[in-house]
Structure 1
Amino acid sequence: MEDPSKLATIKGPRERAIAAHALIDDYQSAIGELSRLRREALEELLSSGMSQSQIADMLDMSRSRVSQLLSAGIRPERAFLGTGGLTVALGGKHEAGKEKPGAVVSAEALAAYDRLAELARSLGLKAEYEVVPPPGFVTLNRSNLIVACGPRLSPLVQQILESDSNIGFAKDSEGWHLIERHTGTVHRSPCDSGKNADVAYLGRLPRPDGKGTFLYMAGIHAIGTAGAAHYIENNLAELYREMKTRRFSVIVTCEFDAESRQVTSSARASQIYRHDGAAQ
């Protein structure tokens, strides 16, 4: 991060204001992440047997202040989404019936983004979305990225998915489905048989540059993507407790209202596969 004292040397007030504003955002993001790390460490100390009074003595603060930090500090599970402003990349399709079609996203994909953005805001994070136009070239080598784009819309994402030896998308004469590779268990979308339910892939995948990961979700149908977002929203603490920010994959199922197309419930449809070889 840039030294704030250097900003005073910028002569133009316009440039100085822009630089100061950007630096404030950087510092606020860093402070938020430090607060999250502190609360997580305090919770670990409590679970190891230390009392709040002992922690207060260790940190030279009052017990009431420790209690406040544990109840009002940034929740540790925020790290499952990211440590700064989130970018949610939504897969787009060409508009039908137009001479020069633009890229549009489904209502279900936008619903998934809305869920994630609201969850992010509740955790002190900003979120924005971008549309990934055909043929699906999305920049994956960046921090705080969530990708909601099926392999049919992005060959690049499809290649990354092949690194998952546990779960994958496949297609046969009956259509697209998800398969647990080790057991051969096939998960087909209930939508294809007229039911108001779908299945989705949820996981954390490696960036092509090898310098991090990105969170990924995609349904067999678009509504499944919204179902994966619903599952994260309602199980964030558990997901973080089990996986932290390590690579994993799991199949999620969801049910939705036929008229409103709103997801009403979601649950795991497989075990959580850790990409280091273990599973839960």
Structure 2
Amino acid sequence: MLDKDIAPAINLTKARLSQVMKTAPVLERIVFGHGPVSIGVPYRYQTIDRERPLIAAEDVETADQLAELLDSLSFVTTRRQIEPDETELPAGDTVIVCGPKSAPVGGSLIAADPALRMIRHESRWWIEETATGRRHGSPIDDATPGTGDIAYVARHIRDGRVVIHIAGIHTIGSLGAAHHLANNLPAVFAATGDTSWSSVVRCAADDRHIEFSELAAGPFVW
């Protein structure tokens, strides 16, 4: 049925129907659930003049980029801080930016993934593919350190809600994951639909500016 046929049937002019269709939320917004969506980033305890909880600048920027993406998808968002001993997920749809070394909630989410896991070996962290044992490491930890990083990204469907989990090997990796979602969400949705999945994202960065991001592995649908 054409726009000119639909419009009278729902008591709209053709021009108004065209406007509504142009401003309607895109299908790929379902990647983040139905909303509202909370965005959580971790406190990281560091010692300056005394030990205190701090939020890394990269994590703040990651939350900013995610909030901008969610706003463009017509979501209402809130922000929260993840405590170092936090074990429980918040209610409702949420994005958790937290690795297993930052809080137990990050570790429990990764433990529920049948396709990927994060392991610590020889004083560094790796993302490992369960089926093949293939490992992905951060260039930052190489003998000749690079400027890029990698991140674990997953979508969990839990009790009718969506949990997006992002865990960079380092904080810049999480920012790279947000960059990849912002620039590739239609492709992510086309490859995975409304399922649970996980992937590995690599990025290159200049300070906190992400120069590019791409899939290193996956997405693995489960």
Aligned residue for 1:191?
Answer: 140
Task: Find out whether 1:70 has 2:41 as its counterpart.
Answer: no
Higher mean alpha-carbon deviation, 106-115 vs 118-127, is at 118-127
Deviations 1:78-123, CA, capped at 9 Å, x for gaps: 2323433321111111231455x43211111111111011112223
Q: What is the CA-CA distance between 1:174 and the residue it aligns to?
A: 5.4
Return the alpha-carbon distance in structure 1 between the equivalents of residues 74 and 155 of structure 2.
21
* Aligned partner (choices 29, 39, 43) of residue 92 of structure 1: 43
Deviations 1:227-259, CA, capped at 9 Å, x for gaps: 0000111012222333344211011011101xx
Task: Find out whether 1:110 has 2:60 as its counterpart.
Answer: yes
What is the DSSP-based 3-state SS (H/G/I as helix, E as strand, rest coil) of the residue aligned with 1:184? coil
Aligned residue for 1:30?
Answer: none
Aligned residue for 1:12?
Answer: none
Return the alpha-carbon distance in structure 1 between the equivalents of residues 208 and 76 of structure 2.
26
Indicate the structure with greater strand content.
2
Give the aligned residue type for 2:115.
Answer: N
Give the aligned residue type for 1:85.
Answer: P
Task: Find out whether 1:263 has 2:210 as its counterpart.
Answer: yes
What is the DSSP-based 3-state SS (H/G/I as helix, E as strand, rest coil) of the residue aligned with 1:269? strand
For residues 2-21 of structure 1, what are the structure 2 equivalents within 5 Å?
none
What is the DSSP-based 3-state SS (H/G/I as helix, E as strand, rest coil) of the residue aligned with 1:74? coil
Instruction: Let me know the Cα RMSD of the aligned residues.
Output: 2.1
Aligned residue for 2:98?
Answer: 149
Deviations 1:97-150, CA, capped at 9 Å, x for gaps: 455x43211111111111011112223333332221222x15415112100011
For residues 156-167 of structure 1, what are the structure 2 equivalents within 5 Å?
156-167=105-116
Identity %: 27
- Residues 94 and 133 of structure 1 are in contact (CA less than 8 Å); yes or no, is this contact kept in structure 2? no
Cα gap change, 1:84 to 1:159, in 2 (>3 Å): closer
Q: What is the CA-CA distance between 1:60 and the residue it aligns to?
A: 5.0
Aligned residue for 1:252?
Answer: 201
5+ long unaligned stretches in structure 1: 1-49, 276-280
What is the DSSP-based 3-state SS (H/G/I as helix, E as strand, rest coil) of the residue aligned with 2:218? coil
Relative contact order, higher structure (CA 8 A, sep 6+): 2
Larger Rg computed on CA atoms:
1
Aligned residue for 1:239?
Answer: 188
In the superposition, the TM-score normalised over structure 1's length comes to: 0.71
Residues matched between the structures, number: 220
In the superposition, the TM-score normalised over structure 2's length comes to: 0.88
Aligned residue for 2:162?
Answer: 213
